[in-house]
Structure 1
Amino acid sequence: MVEKISVNSQAKLSEAVTMLTRMFRDKKFVVVSMRPGKDRTLDQNALWFAMYDRIAKSTEMGDIEDVRRYCKLHIGVQILLNEDVEFQQAWYRVMRHLPYEEKLAMMGECKLFGPDGFPVTSLFNRAQGVAYTERILAEFTPKGVFFGDLVGEVAA
């Protein structure tokens, strides 16, 4: 059982101490890792899901999950293929030969990879996350999707 909590308020600190105390009482051994700073995935994930929602509402691509799968496969995979040799090797070995519809389906919830699907955006570093956001903007802004309120004014 792995628990992760971001402490950004007195209430969250109290929750973390309570969780740690409970784990120690139940298991007698607990490994704790801490680091200062903000978890980039929380802010980026919130932005991405707002973007997916906007795309879903502004296009005929389907629902949020359909858009998420599309963006992961068409944008995220390309970023990792270009920048991560290990990912590239694994992709070519495991996924490349699959039909498009199967690859697309695996980007979302599936039994093999769990609720988040094939890992793509979770592997990003900060720069790759920024590139992903920029590429979503570049692809969908010209198609009439407005993101200005989510990321600031976007030039069309």
Structure 2
Amino acid sequence: MTEKVSVNSAARLSEAITKLTAMFREKKFVVVSLRPGKDRTLDQNALWFAMYQRIAQMTQIGDASDARKYCKLHFGVQLLLNDDEDYRTSWYRVMRHLPYEEKLAMMGDCPLLGPDGFPVTSLFNRTQGIVYTDRIVADFTAKGVFFSDLIGEEAA
């Protein structure tokens, strides 16, 4: 029963304290980890979904789900391989030997890994999410896909 609470206001702080108190009363033992900063935001997830839709509309890649799988495999995996030794070790052990088509399929909904497929973007911190977005924009802008209305003129 792990619960994560982001505190960004007095109301959310009060909610976190209430949840912690209730869990302590019920279980008597609670492990608490704290760190400053923000996680990936819902805004970032919404931006990626809009980008996947745009890629699907303006290329022959397939639908938004196909665009998501492509971006996860081509941009996200490489980012994590470069940044995270544990991820790199796991990727090489489990995925490296698979044919490209299987790797691509594993990035999306599959019976083994669930609706999100092989974990990639869910593991990003905010900085990695920004780099991922920038890599998608750079690659697909060169292929004629425009994102300026989604992310602003200066970023596209």
TM-score (structure 1 length as normaliser) = 0.77
> Given the alignment of the two structures, is residue 48 of structure 1 paired with residue 48 of structure 2, yes or no?
yes
Give 3-state SS (helix, strand or coil) of 1:57's partner: helix
Q: CA RMSD in A?
A: 2.7
Which deviations, in whole Å up to 9, do the C-alpha atoms of 1:42-68 show, x marking residues without a partner?
Answer: 154343233223223333433332211
CA 1:153–1:112 in 2, change beyond 3 Å: closer, same or farther? same
C-alpha displacement of 1:96: 1.8
C-alpha displacement of 1:86: 4.2
Gaps of 5+ in 1: none
The corresponding residue for 1:81 is 81
CA 1:63–1:4 in 2, change beyond 3 Å: closer, same or farther? farther
Question: Is the Cα–Cα contact under 8 Å of residues 69 and 104 in structure 1 kept in the other structure?
Answer: yes
The corresponding residue for 1:147 is 147
> Given the alignment of the two structures, is residue 108 of structure 1 paired with residue 114 of structure 2, yes or no?
no
Letter of the aligned partner of 2:55 in structure 1?
A: I
Gaps of 5+ in 2: none
Question: Is the Cα–Cα contact under 8 Å of residues 38 and 126 in structure 2 kept in the other structure?
Answer: no
1:62-101 counterparts in 2 under 5 A?
62-101=62-101
Give 3-state SS (helix, strand or coil) of 1:30's partner: coil
Percent sequence identity over aligned pairs: 73
Letter of the aligned partner of 2:118 in structure 1?
A: F
CA 1:115–1:29 in 2, change beyond 3 Å: closer, same or farther? farther
Letter of the aligned partner of 2:149 in structure 1?
A: D
CA 1:141–1:13 in 2, change beyond 3 Å: closer, same or farther? same
C-alpha displacement of 1:125: 4.8
C-alpha displacement of 1:136: 0.4
